[in-house]
Amino acid sequence: MNFFAQRRAPQPERIPTDTVLPLPIWDDQQFRRAICLHVTFRFDDVLDTRALDLALCRLLEIGGWHRLGARLRMNDNGKLEYHVPAQYSAQRPGIHYTVAKHSLRINEHPLAHKFPRAAGQPALLNCGKDIMSLCLAPDCPQQLEDWIYSDRPQLDIHAVTFSDATLLSVTFLHSLMDGIGLASFLKAWTDVLKGQEQQVPIFQGVGDDPLGQLTERTPADKYVNSNLMLRGCGLLIFIIRYIFELIWYWNDRTHIICIPGHLVDELRTQALHEMADLKNEEHSTFLTEDDVLLAWWTKATIRALNPSRNRMVSLISMFNIRSVLLNGPLSENTAFITNTILTSFTFLRCHHILQQPLSVIASRTRSALSQQRTQPQIEALLAAQKVDLLKTGRPPLYGDSSCLMICCTNCHRCRFFDLDFSSAVISSSSTLSDRQKLSGRPTSVIPTYHLKEGFRLPNVGGIIGKDASGTWWLMWTLRKGAWPAIEQELNGLVNKTGSSDRQ
């Protein structure tokens, strides 16, 4: 027994009128419990904070959206569950919404002027954690215990207004939803703002288990990577190596990376020409901007980390399976406020990544994704995950005992930069041209996170998206010593694409 452990007050008493719903195993995973997400949207507009609040309250009155205000609890078996209030009030709101107002311009504020901005050229920016005290409410939750030992709702939203801009931050525990779920919530919120309640999608989540229907159809051993599942001694060696590297490279840094769109376009054009010349049927000839951007980042990361040239790299890409769920009885007008993201694995050797052209790396990841997101493969992976989640509380790992894992979440699919809050705009800034900016659209989207003590996310990040001016935004966590090499890669990117004279 740990007599020195911090003691907390007991969880709030259960309210008899609350509806109790269990979390599905896909949401109640240890790593999702450990990650508290904050996503901050910058608008170069002054938004009507009262209108935002009224629309939030109204959204929770529409159909199943009422469940979004559920409280998180842990039961006697150590499992998480939702307690959904029968009704909401000022004393027990469905969403914790707060506002801070400043009369000065955003660039005149001592912290807000540090907010990351694209500069029209490849750039490495601070991730914004130093301004989180401004973006988040003083009592903003940061870990699981902040929810289960209080009666606060799942979503925490804080609006900060200036005379020429607004920062809007959404905080939630990863057990609630993924990025696509957040995008669905924000879309429903803006539908209500616009007075288009008929467009609000049907709510599914908070107690529902849409993935459960897919686990009994295809055996786990049919999964294409089943022979690479880490087990026994191989898993033990991997864990020992992983812990050693966490200790040896203890100083992680997170940065925002901005890359102008014309440079990404030229990388893609170059990659497509290379693929046409190769004429190799083993590689996909369909490549998106995202594919090429991830391939470039993978090469840059391997150069920066400088691992053994023969070491296996497990490139993990997240993909959304909502389209598979919608092939069933569910309407396409459905918002899944849950976690329906699975992982696609691409296995490469470091020397292969360094030696092969960008097109080959991009096509390998695209081919792996195309193969692994078919419905039978999704069902087989879910079946494998269910077995391990019920047995160990964590999903299975794939690779070899020495593999280096690089994990990417592609939030470009969330279309955060396309969100339309124009119905709440009071006044707009004139700092950007009409070509670059639409009123009520975010000009920056900065995701940050708090991790449970002792939990780390090395080599993890993703593509945030492409803004209205065409700039691509990424965010990644790497060890401190790797970032100078990444900066060199960014500095060399213009010359590599032959675009030094572009504006």
Q: What is the pLDDT of residue 497?
A: 55
Label residue 32 exposed, middle or buried (CB < 10 Å: 0-12, 13-18, 19+): buried
Task: Say if residues 175 and 51 touch (Cβ distance below 8 Å).
Answer: no
Q: Which residue in 28, 178, 420, 467 is the catalytic one?
A: 420
Segment among 160-169, 175-184, 194-203, 207-216 with least mean pLDDT? 207-216
pLDDT digits (tens, 9 = 90+) for 52-91: 999 999 999 999 999 999 999 999 999 999 999 999 999 9
Q: Is the pLDDT of residue 246 over 90?
A: no
The C-alpha angle 124, 128, 133, rounded to 5 degrees, equals 165
Cross-strand pairs, 476: 255, 461
Amino acid at 43: F
Mean pLDDT of 360-365: 94
Q: Is the pLDDT of residue 177 over 90?
A: yes
Domains and CATH numbers, the chain: 19-119+127-205 (3.30.559.10), 212-412+456-497 (3.30.559.10)
Instruction: Output DSSP code: residue 24.
Output: P
- Measured distance CA(458)–CA(251) in Å, rounded: 10
Q: What is the pLDDT of residue 244?
A: 87
Cross-strand pairs, 202: 334
Cross-strand pairs, 100: 160
Mean pLDDT of 322-337: 82
Output the 3-class SS for 146-209.
Answer: HHHCCCCCCCEEEEEECCCCEEEEEEEECCCCCHHHHHHHHHHHHHHHCCCHHHCCEEEECCCC
Which percentage of the chain shows pLDDT scores above 70?
A: 93
- Measured distance CA(450)–CA(455) in Å, rounded: 10
Q: Is the pLDDT of residue 208 over 60?
A: yes
Q: Is the pLDDT of residue 344 over 80?
A: yes
Task: Say if residues 237 and 384 touch (Cβ distance below 8 Å).
Answer: no
Give the three-state DSSP class for 337: strand
Residue 424 phi, psi dihedral angles, 5° rounding = -105, 5
Q: What is the pLDDT of residue 328?
A: 67
End-to-end CA distance of the chain: 64
Q: Is the pLDDT of residue 178 over 50?
A: yes
Q: What is the pLDDT of residue 501?
A: 39
Mean pLDDT of 130-139: 91
Label residue 416 exposed, middle or buried (CB < 10 Å: 0-12, 13-18, 19+): buried
Q: Is the pLDDT of residue 489 over 80?
A: yes
* Chain mean pLDDT for the chain: 90
**Do the bridges between strand 96-101 and strand 156-161 make them parallel or antiparallel, or are there none, so unpaired?**
parallel
Whose CA is closest to 312, among 345, 344, 352, 348? Answer: 348
Amino acid at 227: N
pLDDT digits (tens, 9 = 90+) for 438-457: 789 999 999 999 988 878 88
Q: Is the pLDDT of residue 146 over 50?
A: yes
Q: What is the pLDDT of residue 282?
A: 54
Mean pLDDT of 404-432: 88
Helix (H) or strand (E) holding 252: strand 252-259
Give the three-state DSSP class for 60: coil
Mean pLDDT of 148-154: 95
Confidence band, pLDDT 50/70/90 cuts, at residue 4 = very low
Confidence band, pLDDT 50/70/90 cuts, at residue 5 = very low
Q: In sequence order, which residues have a C-beta less than 8 Å from that of residue 16 and are 6 or more positions away?
A: none
Q: Which string of b and e fits 47-82 if b means at least 16 CB within 10 Å? A: bbbebbbebbeebbebebbbbbbbbbbbeeeeebbb
Task: Say if residues 116 and 128 touch (Cβ distance below 8 Å).
Answer: yes
Mean pLDDT of 407-429: 92
Which percentage of the chain shows pLDDT scores above 90?
A: 76
Q: Which residue in 174, 255, 283, 412 is the catalytic one?
A: 174
Confidence band, pLDDT 50/70/90 cuts, at residue 496 = low
158 tagged catalytic: no
* pTM of the full structure: 0.93
Q: Is the pLDDT of residue 139 over 80?
A: yes
Instruction: Output DSSP code: residue 65.
Output: G
174 tagged catalytic: yes
Q: Is the pLDDT of residue 366 over 50?
A: yes
119 Rama class: left (phi>0) / alpha (psi -120 to 50) / beta: alpha
The packing angle between helices 358-372 and 261-278, to 10°, is 80
Amino acid at 252: D
pLDDT digits (tens, 9 = 90+) for 89-129: 999 999 999 999 999 999 999 999 989 988 889 999 987 77
